[in-house]
Structure 1
């Protein structure tokens, strides 16, 4: 009996310790462990990393993080002038030379150009080690008022674009029997957040598609990392869809909002990529805690979302646009 009591006390102490770690964490506990004892981004020295959506926000911050780690970069987005500026900053902040960074303008919706883009990268660098599917858009509108055009556009940008580019890159990785695909997902891919119907739909689809790819590729040395992110500072709300596909939200994030700094998020993401983790959660609270509740107590999480969602719905119905992402 004494041994049983000791065992129970040890388990209780362990669980309390994990709870304390979680309360002060910015990531899930597994990623937190790897940040302490795993590989650093510097372990990716010399890797060729292709980042979409790298003209601003998280993609830009990740480019700086990986440049400092010594990765060779392919920077893609639609705004070539911004990509060139990001390239210049990467060179300033690292030991990279101009030849180590390829600026490759790319429209994620121009599916018929993706194979040619892959050929351009292979001609320049001869290989692609890591593809980061980061480009995407968000959305803010009630489900009942969102036009089907918005749902369609969202699926094209957030799902079909990454699928198309990955399908174009995958044959090269299979030939080499080596590769790593990374996707920027969201807490919206884990549960239904009121006011983000189309966005939740797209991120859930992204999760399912690339979870399937991971399972199919597990014995072929091709890794898939899903980065489930909570609120962080970016231009996401400026370009977010609203009720119609021809209108953007145009809202800038305020410095005082409870969001993670983009450079912090990018560092956590770089560690996840370096350690080839299957899925990581990076977020401020309460979203991070809610991810754990949703994982281990799904029925309770659904009830909680209904209660929390009522306040959010009321804000939307009152016409308030500055909602937490």
Structure 2
């Protein structure tokens, strides 16, 4: 009996050791790591119609490239049409798509009254929408005490209400077809407490709540809901980030020496999460990935550790400085 317990203990210890190594040396959560090794590849999405908002730069832009290489038919939306045209050209150059496989559809997601007509334009062009990727949004940097309620409202309108509005236009079409996939660009900030970004963090926690609930409601209706949660990634997100006052942009820049994931790698992992219809994907380098696990499974311990580390160290970790 003692021998059996000993071997069981060794077995459990070995499993924990393997999982710890995977977490410490990985750049995404364990489910996504397994999916990337043994699950479907991105080319499983070939022929799917994917509508990406915020497709003119950053993760949205590189996700378009990744899906174009897989042979997806794309609708690219953002406010800046010239940038969308540039992204389309790159998709045609490196992807397995033809000119008529990509629709450039300029869209300001804050103009809620245009969401219905935009959805109809996509449906008229492609005949269907297989995957909606709600990627449009902005980050924010300011202390809670320095942030106006007007700014809070702006963040919530863009990062939450605009996402809900567009999804509510597309979802009926998917329900009618009895298949579909809704993806939302959340953030690691939606899984923990990101300092000096209370408005942004709050908006991502709201996204987590709304869309995880939608995922439960769609379980038996053949519609997947995927929450994509990237951590620090090299992009221009700080340039247009909200501050503490409405109408003011941060105009911040990233340092090449910061510990951030490349935009291309982040997009690759996002595409794999879509191909495998994962409910949620954490995409981040360590120590941010490890902190995410701690906040998820040991909330009181992680908050105690955060208090001991202090605001400056937490901000340094958040910005890829550790």
What corresponds to 2:104 in structure 1? Answer: 103
Q: Distance in 1 between matches of 2:297 and 2:135?
A: 28
Alpha-carbon shift at residue 324 of structure 1 (Å): 4.6
Tell me if the contact between 2:49 and 2:74 (Cα under 8 Å) persists in the aligned partners: yes
Stretches of 4+ aligned residues off by more than 4 angstroms? 312-315, 322-325
Q: Distance in 2 between matches of 1:313 and 1:19?
A: 22
| 1:125-204 alignment runs, 5 A limit | 125-204=126-205
What corresponds to 2:213 in structure 1? Answer: 212
SS in 2 for 1:219: helix
What corresponds to 1:245 in structure 2? Answer: 246
Tell me if the contact between 1:193 and 1:309 (Cα under 8 Å) persists in the aligned partners: no
Q: Distance in 1 between matches of 2:143 and 2:301?
A: 24
Q: Distance in 1 between matches of 2:45 and 2:121?
A: 22
| 1:217-236 alignment runs, 5 A limit | 217-236=218-237
Q: Distance in 1 between matches of 2:180 and 2:296?
A: 28
Tell me if the contact between 1:44 and 1:274 (Cα under 8 Å) persists in the aligned partners: yes
Task: Give the alignment's TM-score, normalised by structure 2.
Answer: 0.96
- Structure 1, gaps ≥5 residues long: 316-321
Q: Distance in 1 between matches of 2:31 and 2:53?
A: 26
CA displacement 1:127-186 (0-9 Å, x = unmatched): 000000001001000100101111000000100011000000011000000000001111
Alpha-carbon shift at residue 88 of structure 1 (Å): 0.4
Q: Distance in 1 between matches of 2:226 and 2:171?
A: 15
Alpha-carbon shift at residue 323 of structure 1 (Å): 4.5
Tell me if the contact between 2:130 and 2:179 (Cα under 8 Å) persists in the aligned partners: yes
Task: Give the alignment's TM-score, normalised by structure 1.
Answer: 0.96
- Structure 2, gaps ≥5 residues long: none
What corresponds to 1:118 in structure 2? Answer: 119
Alpha-carbon shift at residue 312 of structure 1 (Å): 4.9
Alpha-carbon shift at residue 246 of structure 1 (Å): 1.6
Tell me if the contact between 1:193 and 1:305 (Cα under 8 Å) persists in the aligned partners: no
- 1:260–1:113 CA distance, 2 compared to 1 (3 A): same
Q: Distance in 2 between matches of 1:308 and 1:234?
A: 27
Range 147-156 or range 290-299, more displaced: 290-299
Q: Distance in 1 between matches of 2:190 and 2:31?
A: 19
Tell me if the contact between 1:50 and 1:128 (Cα under 8 Å) persists in the aligned partners: yes
- 1:44–1:194 CA distance, 2 compared to 1 (3 A): same
